[in-house]
């Protein structure tokens, strides 16, 4: 089969779904690869590097859509791209089917198959294809780097001839994949790091990474924890306790990185306006939940603001794209692993096995039908 990567057309998107390295791996599965000219440029991969890896460089997206049997992309298709899909073609990309019903119907009508990378079941066997995690890991790391870039001080404490420098104090709210990556980065830079999550089981992970778990004295320790490792909305009583704790911490901490999300809901508001007012001038809030409405009351998605009391609030929604070389490498590996499972005999033939839990879970359109939502997975 021919695997093709068109250039991402979403404004500001720097990533690419195929790298020269991933193309070499795809060829080992018996596939041929094509790419649109310039598709990898913003991620640091030149057309010449693709050509040297045996990839055919085509001049336009239309040429890639026409030539390829399988299209690989980062962002879900814009309507114009979806209209280029045809019967028998497969698209592998992020898709967010619950938020894109019309687009989903359109691709199903065109009888294309869509594998949504955001729908890969989060089971052990599928970790190598878990693009949500690979991108969240990068976002968590980059959030700390952005915080440092906007914080005019060291993370680590120092005693120098010119004076003593106190270590920065960093609070990470939410210790999922992105939060844990942020904790690791913050502690490795030498900051005193605190972290909080509604799921008490993460306390051990937080502490094993050198941060201090912010303990909340509450009768029902499981208040905000749902099944499957995700969070549920907290009770009003729990939320009040949590906010009271954050108000205690607000004047102390220099940097707050918020990553709290609840599946299927807007991000919970956890860093309120009065907490921002209590922070010292020069402090920084990086809100990784900005795309889902933000954890901080004052976040402006896709932007950075400075409040009257000199607190910078970063609401960027493109953290992985800001590290496009790294994120393209990891994302293209996630895609390559998906294609490995879709090519079981390594003979260049796609076998779209809907009996396979992972393939079934991620497939949102197939043979003219919408196949989202999937049935619950058989394997845990």
Active centre residues (catalytic): 122, 127, 130, 133, 230
Q: Distance between CA atoms of 60 and 334, rounded to whole angstroms? A: 25
Residue 127 near ligand NAD by CB under 6 A: yes
Residue 330 near ligand NAD by CB under 6 A: no
Among 148, 268, 315, 361, binds ligand NAD (CB under 6 A): 268
- Looking at residues 195 to 214 of the shown chain, list those that interact with ligand NAD (rule: CB under 6 A): 196-199
Strands 158-160, 192-196: pairing kind: unpaired
Q: Which class for 85: exposed (0-12), middle (13-18), buried (19 or more C-beta within 10 A)?
A: buried
Chain residue at closest Cβ approach to ligand NAD: 176
Residue 22 near ligand NAD by CB under 6 A: no
Task: Read off φ and ψ for residue 19, nearest 5 degrees.
Answer: -110, 165
Q: How many helices (H) and strands (E) does the chain have?
A: 12, 17
Is residue 259 within 8 A of residue 142, CB to CB? The reply is: no
Site mask, ligand NAD, residues 83-122, x = CB under 6 A? ---------------------------------------x
Residue with tokens 């030539």: 67
Q: Distance between CA atoms of 126 and 145, rounded to whole angstroms? A: 29
Among 18, 23, 147, 175, binds ligand NAD (CB under 6 A): 175
Is residue 233 within 8 A of residue 268, CB to CB? The reply is: yes
**Interacting stretch for ligand NAD, rule CB under 6 A, among 97-105, 158-166, 260-268, 346-354?**
260-268
Q: Which two tokens stand for residue 319?
A: 């953290």
- Strand order of the β-sheet with 32-36 is 56-58, 32-36, 2-5, 70-72, 90-93, 113-116, 363-366, 369-370
Q: Looking at beta carbons only, is 259 or 299 nearer to ligand NAD?
A: 259
Minimal distance in Å, beta carbon 124 to ligand NAD? 6
Site mask, ligand NAD, residues 134-173, x = CB under 6 A? --x------------------------------------x
Minimal distance in Å, beta carbon 364 to ligand NAD? 19
Among 191, 262, 330, 338, binds ligand NAD (CB under 6 A): 262
The strand ranges marked E within 200-301 are 212-213, 255-258, 284-287
Q: Distance between CA atoms of 263 and 209, rounded to whole angstroms? A: 25
Give every CB contact of residue 172 below 8 A, 6+ residues apart in sequence: 179, 182, 183, 186, 193, 194, 195, 196, 211, 256, 257, 258, 259
Q: Looking at beta carbons only, is 133 or 333 nearer to ligand NAD?
A: 133
**Interacting stretch for ligand NAD, rule CB under 6 A, among 23-31, 71-79, 174-182, 243-251?**
174-182
Minimal distance in Å, beta carbon 307 to ligand NAD? 22
Q: Looking at beta carbons only, is 41 or 205 nearer to ligand NAD?
A: 205
Residue 227 near ligand NAD by CB under 6 A: no
Q: Which of 268, 320, 292 has its CA nearest to residue 99?
A: 292
**Interacting stretch for ligand NAD, rule CB under 6 A, among 16-24, 154-162, 223-231, 245-253?**
223-231
Minimal distance in Å, beta carbon 201 to ligand NAD? 8
Residue 334 near ligand NAD by CB under 6 A: no
Residues of the shown chain interacting with ligand NAD in the complex, contacts defined by CB under 6 A = 122-124, 127, 130, 133, 136, 173-179, 196-199, 224, 229-231, 234, 259-263, 268, 270
């Amino acid at each position: 089969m021919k695997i093709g990567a068109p250039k991402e057309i979403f404004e500001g998107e720097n990533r690419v779904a195929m790298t020269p390295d991933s193309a070499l791996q795809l060829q080992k599965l018996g596939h041929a690869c094509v790419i649109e000219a310039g598709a990898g440029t913003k991620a640091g991969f030149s057309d010449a590097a693709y050509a040297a890896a045996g990839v055919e460089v085509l001049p336009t997206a239309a040429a890639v859509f026409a030539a390829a049997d399988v299209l690989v992309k980062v962002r879900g298709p814009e309507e114009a791209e979806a209209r280029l899909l045809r019967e028998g073609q497969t698209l592998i990309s992020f898709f967010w089917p619950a938020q894109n019903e019309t687009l989903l119907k359109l691709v199903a009508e065109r009888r294309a198959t869509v594998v949504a990378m955001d729908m890969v079941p989060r089971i052990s066997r599928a970790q190598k294809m878990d693009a949500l995690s690979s991108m969240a890991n990068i976002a968590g790391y980059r959030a700390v780097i952005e915080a440092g870039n906007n914080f005019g001080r060291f993370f680590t404490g120092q005693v120098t001839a010119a004076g003593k420098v106190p270590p920065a104090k960093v609070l990470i709210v939410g210790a999922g994949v992105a939060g844990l990556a942020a904790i690791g980065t913050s502690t490795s830079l030498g900051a005193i790091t605190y972290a909080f999550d509604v799921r008490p089981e993460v306390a051990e992970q937080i502490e094993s990474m050198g941060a201090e778990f912010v303990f909340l004295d509450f009768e029902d320790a499981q208040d905000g924890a749902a099944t499957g490792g995700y969070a549920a909305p907290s009770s009003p009583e729990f939320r009040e306790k949590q906010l009271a704790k954050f108000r205690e911490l607000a004047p102390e901490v220099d940097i707050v990185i918020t990553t709290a999300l609840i599946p299927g809901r807007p991000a919970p508001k956890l860093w309120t306006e009065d907490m921002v007012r209590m922070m010292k001038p020069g402090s920084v809030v990086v809100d990784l939940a900005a795309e889902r409405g933000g954890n901080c009351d004052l976040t402006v998605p896709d932007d950075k603001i400075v409040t009257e009391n000199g607190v910078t609030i970063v609401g960027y929604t493109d953290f992985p794209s800001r590290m496009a070389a790294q994120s393209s490498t990891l994302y293209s590996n996630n895609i390559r692993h998906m294609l490995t499972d879709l090519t079981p005999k390594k003979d260049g033939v796609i076998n779209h096995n809907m009996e396979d839990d992972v393939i079934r879970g991620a497939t949102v359109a197939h043979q003219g039908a919408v196949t989202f939502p999937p049935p619950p997975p058989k394997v845990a």
